[in-house]
Structure 1
Amino acid sequence: MGGMTARDGGTTGICCGRVVAVTGAGRGLGRAHALAFAAEGARVVVNDLGAGPDGAGSSAAPAHEVAAEIRARGGEAVVHDGDIATAQGAASLVATALEAFGRLDTVVNNAGFLRDRMLVNLDEDDWNAVLRVHLTGHFLPLRYAAAHWRAETRAGRAPDARIVNTTSGAGLLGSVGQGNYAAAKAGIVGLTLVAAAELARYGVRVNAVAPAARTRMTEAVFAETMAAPAAGAFDAMAPDNVSPLVVWLGSAASAGVTGRVFEAEGGRVTVMEGWRPGPTADRGARWTPAQAGEAAVRLLAAAEPPGRVYGARAEGE
């Protein structure tokens, strides 16, 4: 089964025969992922609600444009313009893959938007909206895809399935002015770990990527960092740089890799190492508050310092 032709001719067909659903695939990272999967032979379900950068409005046009681009390059794609943060939308995403292509092998959860506020100005609606699109928008497609793969396993058709979630440095370290987004992205890491453990029995591998790239969500917030380089120079912030890792994680080649978080930026890939026990003290009895405080100070002196929260001022600034 042939995929579309890549511009640089560097494809290997690593996803030939696979059906991949990408959420938020109308623009930015999702678009880059959809095109990259198609270039590697996958048939793609292009999901996008077509909302604005803050989640307002909807339009089927972005998803249709990406699907048309894939087909123009010789690939296969169908559009799903439902809201994947609803049970109906997530269930229909899986149904669309099955109806169009007869199977589903990979889900890339990528949809999201921002409503940045400092915590004292962050209202409940903006909190709920961002957690809904990012965290619930990851959970529901994962849940309905997992139910399908469980049914396949019970029917004797063992899947070799993949879920690639999208977290963020904001979820790993925090980001000033993004309490809602950071909380949602941290929640996605926890969801990834649980899903990897629960779904392994059904042949599903679940990982997360924390990308750094120029998108509608970052080009205004981090304008200087995300600026395009001079003509001819390597564009480290191009969304296309993140997609090769996502494609590999979504392919059968990533067998045995699950419950992991990667950072991807420019030409760099990093395996992130999360919470692990550090210095510890055990008194063998209950502490008094003063004793616990003294122990905590000693342990902190022996511990690795945490990474700085994005946007936080360095000491002395």
Structure 2
Amino acid sequence: MADQIPHLEAFVKLGNLFQNFCDNDTSKEENWHHRLTETVIVAGNHNGWFTKENVLFALKSWAKVLTSDSLTTWLNIYNIPAEHSKRVAIIMAGNIPLVGLHDFISVVLSGHQVIAKLSSNDKVLMHFIVAYLKENDDLLSQKITLTEDKLGDFDAVIATGSNNTGRYFDYYFGKYPNIIRKNRNSVAVLSGTEGADDLQKLGTDIFTYFGLGCRSVSKIYVPKDYNFDHFYQGIYSFKTVIDHHKYANNYDYNKAVYLMSDVQILDNNFLLLKEDKGFASPIGCLFYETYETVEELNSNLQKEKEALQCVLSNLEITNALPFGISQKPSLDDYADGVDTLKFLSTL
């Protein structure tokens, strides 16, 4: 079945390159391995949040899903017409490495042409990926256009941004078939009985990409009289996050603002905890809120589901994910819950 999906093999090769690179296996595609090494360095120099560790995390995650079996299983669910090709504009975010790659893959493998407006924060890695794909599939040169200029001549739009840019997108792109994504956050619900392993996994959900992604946990719900010492002990292994200068600057700034404003905070010298009903905590800070009953909290979270990307918990919370996997979405785990391939297959 895989040979019936145009361009699939190029993406499988890309997944193999990522895997070999993460395994430091230079026996295959030595030239591309060397170029990717340089690209990771340049990407980190261009965007200080794109550390080697975080870029490698992204590459490993993509390597696991860019396989023939995974891609074929994902695509075969949809009735994608054999002969159709619209020009689909993608306005990419740049908050974490390769955050726009899923939309990019979806458009290409559903048979459309992609016009990708790259974020200035994540253009280095995407340029590398497109160069590799075109090297391995000549026909992709006709299907892929990258730009940092104003978009023009397209049939549909997929745009990702903030609530403010979302209103702009609605105004300018509302007349086209579109997917427009806005701010979302992720939360975790704790029972107070989590073990060290649970909290270690939750730490991955909180600190991966420095908390910059919509799948990064930015708030926790805890029962009344929760022991925060237990929480801090469970995430202590992530203390080296404070060694990153951009994270440290944000942590110091937010701590100073809270202290000068007489805001009560908890602090372990690398993560601030602030009681707050909001979802979007600043970098270096995690909001928390207490709850009375799981049933009441579950009902409240359902009312807020349009603002939430992921909910993580071991409790009986609707659609809750286990700790430790929020940053490892599968191909069919669509941003904002909007089925991108279904949208593309009906254009």
Name the TM-score, length of structure 1 as normaliser.
0.37
Name the TM-score, length of structure 2 as normaliser.
0.34
